[in-house]
Amino acid sequence: MQDKPRTDAALAGKEDLSPLGEVPLVAETPEEFLDDETTPLSRFFVRNNGLLPEPAENAEAWTFTVDGEVERPLHLTLAELKKRFSHKTFRMVLECGGNGRSFLEPKAEGNPWTHGGVGCAEWTGVSLGDVLREAGLTEAALFTGHFGADPDKTGSFERQAMSRGVPIAKALEDHTLLVWAMNGEPLPFIHGGPLRLVVPGWPGSLSQKWLKRIWIRDREHDGPGMTGLSYRLPVHPLPPGSDGQGVETRILESMPVRSIVTAPADGSCYPEGTQTVEVRGAAWAGDETVARVDVTADGGATWTAADMQPPRNRYDWVRWRVSLTLPGDGFYEIFARATDAQGRAQPFRAAHWNPNGYGCNVMHRVAITVGPEV
């Protein structure tokens, strides 16, 4: 079992984050610290499912395997991966499947994420699809299984802390990457260095850290995090508080549309007589695109459309801003609502209750005061 000093050291340089758990180590980013187009390493959230593995002594010698339903199993070092395949860099959102969980009523199981289980970094690596084509997928190839070097929460290596997988079509997407750099720097250990998987648009649990193996399977992967109620949603809506036992479920795939307000921060105060407030934030929509972002300060009676900055590439978040006109001094609650290209918008009140609290995309609210505090 790891001692606490090592856990503290793992979060060194991330003093802006809010810890949610120690075993496993989990910390989220307050929304006002997500105001950069590219999330700095110091402000990128941390999510682990087990204990931390031993850091690699030689990153370039790190090895991983691609096997299973392939014609030519591969056993590569990181140095060989860099040499043999084309390098790509994309700025992409990574989001925990439980982001927003704390807004469900009654409370669901799991870490009490608010809106800060997300970040948008520049990831550099190679497309997993290029590697799989080199290995040669058999006709039976249906699903991936991902394996990392981290032990489970008890410190045991006999069972994976998390081992999830995706359908082959998602694995072959150009943006699904084997990553060794983040924001132009070697991938930090706490974020899975020296090698991790990044599966954009889907729950972050699929983006295996400290990657050691990708197993190509002829069936849906059944590792830890794939069965029971783990990262699964009920096919039919459940009454809030249900235990979910015996109900039909589906795998949580594309994450729902979401927007956050990154400025002003919750609790901000403005001088008496302030007539306009500049509001800005970010929005994203899993596999989909963001069609619009609207902001209200009167409970939804009126909405103002935000100006949106085009994303750099697919899976980048959309930065937005709007100037809100206020009727006078007083207390205001600002809500941001993103809508995706399919017309699906965020709700005021958390919907789609499920026992593990996945996919809650309730609107983000910040409160401000203009003039003397009420």
State pLDDT tens for residues 136-183: 999 999 999 999 999 999 998 888 999 999 999 999 999 999 999 999
Pick the closest to residue 78 from 147, 180, 188 (CA basis): 180
Pick the closest to residue 357 from 112, 132, 101 (CA basis): 101
Q: Is 141 helix (H, G, I), strand (E, B) or coil?
A: coil
Mean pLDDT (whole number) for 328-336: 97
What are the residue ranges of CATH 3.90.420.10 in the chain? 4-251
Would you place residue 7 in the very low, low, confident or very high pLDDT band (cuts 50, 70, 90)? low
Q: Does 1 score more than 80 pLDDT?
A: no
Cβ(135)–Cβ(145) below 8 Å:
no
Q: Does 9 score more than 80 pLDDT?
A: no
Q: According to DSSP H, which parts of 327-371 are helical?
A: none
Distance CA 346, CA 259 (A): 8
Q: Does 372 score more than 90 pLDDT?
A: no
Q: Look at residue 3 in the predicted model and tell me its pLDDT.
A: 43
Instruction: Enter the tokens of residue 153.
Output: 């929460």
Cis omega (within 30 of 0) for bond into 194 = yes
One-letter amino acid identity for 236? H
Pairing of strands 63-68, 211-217: parallel
The proportion of the chain whose per-residue pLDDT surpasses 90, expressed as a percent, equals 95
Q: Look at residue 176 in the predicted model and tell me its pLDDT.
A: 99
Tell me yes or no: is domain 4-251 CATH 3.40.30.10: no
Would you place residue 10 in the very low, low, confident or very high pLDDT band (cuts 50, 70, 90)? confident
Which residue would you say has higher pLDDT here, 299 or 372? 299
What are the residue ranges of CATH 2.60.40.650 in the chain? 258-370
Mean pLDDT (whole number) for 37-58: 97
CB burial of residue 307 (10 Å; 0-12, 13-18, 19+):
exposed
Instruction: Enter the tokens of residue 176.
Output: 């699904």
Pick the closest to residue 138 from 72, 81, 64, 221 (CA basis): 72
Model pLDDT for residues 174-231, shown as the tens digit of each residue: 999 999 999 999 999 999 999 999 999 999 999 999 999 999 999 999 999 999 999 9
Cis omega (within 30 of 0) for bond into 106 = yes
Q: Look at residue 205 in the predicted model and tell me its pLDDT.
A: 98
| Distances in whole angstroms, Cα of residue 165 to Cα of each of 18, 62, 251 | 29, 21, 10
Find residue 325's DSSP bridge partners.
276
Q: Does 131 score more than 90 pLDDT?
A: yes
Tell me yes or no: is domain 258-370 CATH 2.40.10.230: no
Q: Look at residue 374 in the predicted model and tell me its pLDDT.
A: 54
Q: Is the dihedral of CA 335, 341, 343, 347 positive or negative?
A: negative
Would you place residue 334 in the very low, low, confident or very high pLDDT band (cuts 50, 70, 90)? very high
**Cβ neighbours of residue 313 under 8 Å, at least 6 residues apart?**
90, 91, 92, 175
